[in-house]
Structure 1
Amino acid sequence: MNTAVPGPPQRSADLVLRPSMLRYLQAYRATTAMLVVIAVVLFLRGGGVGTLFALLLAAGGSGLMSLYFRRASVVVTPTELVATGLLRRRRTPRGSVTTAVSATMPRSHPRSPTFPHLFVLDGDGRRVARLSGTHWLEDDHRRLLRALGLTPQVLRGVSTGKELARTHPRAVSLLERRPLLKTLLIAVPGVAVAVALVLTSTD
Structure 2
Amino acid sequence: MEKMLTVAEVAGILRVSVRTVYNLLEAGTLRGVRVGRAWRVLTSALEALTAQGPGEPGPVAVAGAWYVNAMANRIVVELPGGELKHFAVVPFRAATLEEMEDYKGYHPAQMTGGAQTVPDYVLRHYGLSLATVSLPVIVVEAGDRSIHPVEKLTLELSGDRQAMLSQAMTAVAARGYRVLRDAEGGCCEYMPRAAEDGGDHIIVTVWPEEDQGCE
When the two structures are superposed, what TM-score results if normalisation uses the length of structure 2?
A: 0.20
Which has more helix, going by share of residues?
A: 1
Higher relative contact order (CA 8 A, sep 6+): 1
Q: Which has the larger radius of gyration?
A: 2
Which has more strand, going by share of residues?
A: 2
